[in-house]
Amino acid sequence: MQPNTLLDAILDEAGVSHAGLAAHVNQAGRARGLALRYEHTAVARWLKGQRPRGHVPDLICEVLAARLRRPVTLDDIGLGVPGEPAAPHGSGLSGFVERATALWRSDEQQRPHILDAPAVTGTPAVMPVWEWENPPEDVDVSRGGRHRVTPADIEMLRAARSHYEQMYRKAGGIATRSRIVGFLNAETAPLLRGSYTDAMGRQLHRATGGLVAIAGICAYDSDALGLAQRYFHQALRLAKASGDRGLGAYVIALLVNQSLFMKEYRQAVAFAEAALRTAGRHITPALASDLYAMQAKAYAHLGDATSALDCIRQAESAAERIRRGHEPDETGYVQPGLVHVQVAEALLSLGDLTAAGEHAAAAVDTPAHDRGRVHRLAMLSQIELRQGNADRAAATAVEMAERARGMESMRLRDRLRAVREHLVRNGSAGTAEAAELIDGALRVPL
């Protein structure tokens, strides 16, 4: 029996307590000639996943619709009949908003069935990308609600996205995730349920999509892979509602990165192709360079050297066209040197140690934020070991461990463990110091 997160979220939106809902359902039942005696304990059971008997689900919809001053369906409260088509209201953009905000609320409440869910593969993983690529488009995203959304609200969401992105880079996704999820629930959800025109709504969905994507990145960095995937899928749906193809391509790049981590290499190639194809002229040089570089890594893992090298050339060509100040905020992560480290990883998989080392060294020589620098140093250390330069690799690992200190990130911990394992296997005079520093960074509680 799964908790009814939709009912929980809509009760929160309506500002109705468990006891209040029970009393209103009893009252609505009396109007229909039903003698109902529900108390707050019954509502608690419904929230745990128990289905109310008889006409009670309809009465709950009636009570909440009156409170929220909008139609409420069985699907909106998580009580639709399994196997039957969802009502139109619940299946459109409005229904998506209710499901999305319910997920945010469940995440903030640390619900285990949300946090521990595995990432989906196959058709369920592909469908959100296919739906982003193909019609129908959202003709009108306007909505009527209690709070009128203003340009100041949109600016607040944009500023929050930038703030949480910087926090993630400095402190890691584990430390940042609870904060951004709290913001989504407290500030963003009421705006999505507010009142806005089609034009304002598209700006709202775009700004929200950028925020939700950062929440997904933080979940991925916290090792909650299924939750991260759900956030990325939400961000993709919000991007479609906004009409911004470039934002959608950015979100797909995040899905490509997660696919690479999960060793779903063919999926990574297909997703990158979908982003490049569908976004077309809306894709920026920075994003194109990252997508091609990640494609190169996927092809390299698949053993397709020809395709990998072709993607490397396209990544490098796109990187040369990047113009700072002409990119959206979301692609700010494509800093100088990022393509070098991505290409180094692809070349390492292909066995070209010399070229991989040149690219990794170039990446380290280029300024980057601390998180990016840790990844670059880890790649360089790994290549130096493969080249037989154990002492140099140990020195690089020492700098990497010092940079990583204080960051709460499962992905960085993965990097640290991998480097330590390679150092111990190829021991040298400096290995002990590097291993000790890495152990110290790994001992920091998350």
Give the distance, in angstroms, between the CA of residue 371 and the centroid of all CA atoms in the same chain: 18
* Distance between CA atoms of residues 391 and 385, nearest Å: 8
Q: Among residues of the chain, what percentage have pLDDT more than 90?
A: 68
Please check whether residues 326 and 399 belong to one and the same domain. no
Look at residues 309, 337, 363 and tell me which one is the last residue of a structural domain: 363
Q: What does the pLDDT read at residue 444? A: 62
Please check whether residues 74 and 120 belong to one and the same domain. no
* Distance between CA atoms of residues 396 and 393, nearest Å: 5
Q: Within 10 Å of residue 301's Cβ, how many Cβ atoms?
A: 19
Q: What does the pLDDT read at residue 428? A: 63
| Burial label, 96 (beta-carbon count in 10 A; 0-12, 13-18, 19+) | middle
Q: What does the pLDDT read at residue 85? A: 46
Residue entry with tokens 């997508």: 291
Please check whether residues 379 and 353 belong to one and the same domain. no
Number of independent structural domains in the chain: 4
Encode pLDDT of 11-33 as tens digits: 888 888 999 999 999 998 888 88
Q: What does the pLDDT read at residue 215? A: 98
Residue 62, in any domain of the structure: yes
Residue 294, in any domain of the structure: yes
Q: Residue 45: which domain range?
A: 5-90
* Distance between CA atoms of residues 293 and 253, nearest Å: 11
Q: What does the pLDDT read at residue 87? A: 45
- Mean pLDDT, the chain, integer: 91
Encode pLDDT of 324-367 as tens digits: 889 999 999 998 899 999 999 999 999 999 999 999 999 999 99
Encode pLDDT of 76-101 as tens digits: 888 886 544 444 444 589 889 989 99
Encode pLDDT of 146-175 as tens digits: 889 999 999 999 999 999 999 999 999 999
* Distance between CA atoms of residues 407 and 397, nearest Å: 16
Please check whether residues 97 and 236 belong to one and the same domain. yes
Look at residues 62, 90, 118 and tell me which one is the last residue of a structural domain: 90
Predicted confidence pLDDT, tens digits, the chain (446 residues)? 688 888 988 888 888 899 999 999 999 888 888 888 899 999 999 998 899 988 899 899 989 888 887 888 888 888 886 544 444 444 589 889 989 999 999 999 998 888 999 999 999 999 999 999 999 999 999 998 888 999 999 999 999 999 999 999 999 999 999 999 999 999 999 999 999 999 999 999 999 999 999 999 999 999 999 999 999 999 999 999 999 999 999 999 999 999 999 999 999 999 999 999 999 999 999 999 999 999 999 999 999 999 999 999 999 999 999 998 899 999 999 988 999 999 999 999 999 999 999 999 999 999 988 899 999 999 999 999 899 888 899 999 999 998 888 889 999 999 999 998 888 887 666 677 788 888 887 776 65
* Distance between CA atoms of residues 442 and 446, nearest Å: 9
Long-range pairs for 423-432 at CB < 8 Å and ≥24 separation? 423/381, 423/385, 423/390, 423/393, 423/394, 423/397, 426/385, 426/390, 426/393, 427/390, 428/390, 428/391, 428/393, 428/394, 429/391, 429/394, 430/390, 430/391, 430/394, 430/395, 430/398, 431/390, 431/394
120 with 225: CB under 8 angstroms? no
* Distance between CA atoms of residues 420 and 426, nearest Å: 10
Please check whether residues 203 and 228 belong to one and the same domain. yes
Cα 139 to Cα 193, 215, 248, 285, 393: the distances in Å are: 18, 27, 17, 29, 56
Please check whether residues 23 and 149 belong to one and the same domain. no
Q: For 143-243, where are the alpha helices, taking DSSP H only?
A: 151-171, 173-183, 189-192, 198-221, 225-242
Q: What does the pLDDT read at residue 86? A: 44
* HSE value, Cβ hemisphere, 13 Å, CA-based, for 20: 9
Look at residues 319, 335, 363 and tell me which one is the last residue of a structural domain: 363
CA-based diameter of the chain, in Å? 85
1, two tokens: 């029996």
Residue 211, in any domain of the structure: yes
